Amino acid sequence: MKDDKRKAQERNNIKFHDMSSILNFGLGSQNGVADLNRVTTKIIKSREYDELMEMFKELSSFASNEGEELLPEREKRMDEMEEVMKRLHMEILKEKQLLQELRHTNDFYARRLDEEILYAEGWIKAGSVGGSTVDIRDRIRAMEKRIQELRTTRTVADSFSAQIKLSEDNCGSMADRIWKILVDVLPLLRGRLAVQTNKQTQTEVRRLLRENESELKRLSVR
């Protein structure tokens, strides 16, 4: 606890005889949380899964066509979707890693806020104030206000950390879904397409045989 107070004092270079020093106490941690909030919100809002959702629907339609032939053109379409999903899979994993790093930085600022609140409360309790009675009251009131502001920022940091973790989990879930499609669904659909193509080939051979049946008979007579 004493170490936390010392860190807070050294970091903020506190001079409590100076009102501006009180008013700026903990400002670095507050700005850190605010900056992280802006950056992370921009990252979260920039990620759109509409393209993936459309591909998932399209693949679902391929898989549900039990009574219909999978047209050969779909093989090309599956190749295109596979390339896009591989790219998005890597992008989402990188985004998840970035969000994790931002969350850890946010948690670091939260711990700093705890140290600063602890130190400020201790400063008030210890009566570490010099000067006239009016000055003392003014500085104590100013510090009490700063403590309340720091506590508010600390609450925001907790809420923000939970929000980042949720986005991390969403990225992980989406990456898992893409990977499952890449390693399970697409091979199954391609296998089905191969079987269907083989059936089409056999049907075409039988048709050609029927059309050329008389010629085949003639050729078979010695």
pLDDT 10s digits, 81-116? 999 999 999 999 999 999 999 999 999 999 999 999
Q: How far apart are CA 124 and CA 142, in angstroms?
A: 11
Exposed, middle or buried: residue 78 (CB in 10 Å: 0-12, 13-18, 19+)? buried
Q: How far apart are CA 98 and CA 176, in angstroms?
A: 17
Contact between 107 and 193 (Cβ < 8 Å): no
Q: Residue 185 has what pLDDT? A: 83
Q: Which two tokens stand for residue 143?
A: 């510090």
Long-range contacts of 216-219 (CB under 8 A, 24+ apart): none
Q: How far apart are CA 11 and CA 9, in angstroms?
A: 6
Could you tell me the pTM of the whole model?
A: 0.73
Contact between 187 and 194 (Cβ < 8 Å): no
Domain ranges of the chain: 2-60+68-220
Residues of the chain with pLDDT below 50 are 67, 213, 215-217, 219-220, 222
Q: Residue 215 has what pLDDT? A: 44
Q: Residue 4 has what pLDDT? A: 53
Q: Residue 219 has what pLDDT? A: 41
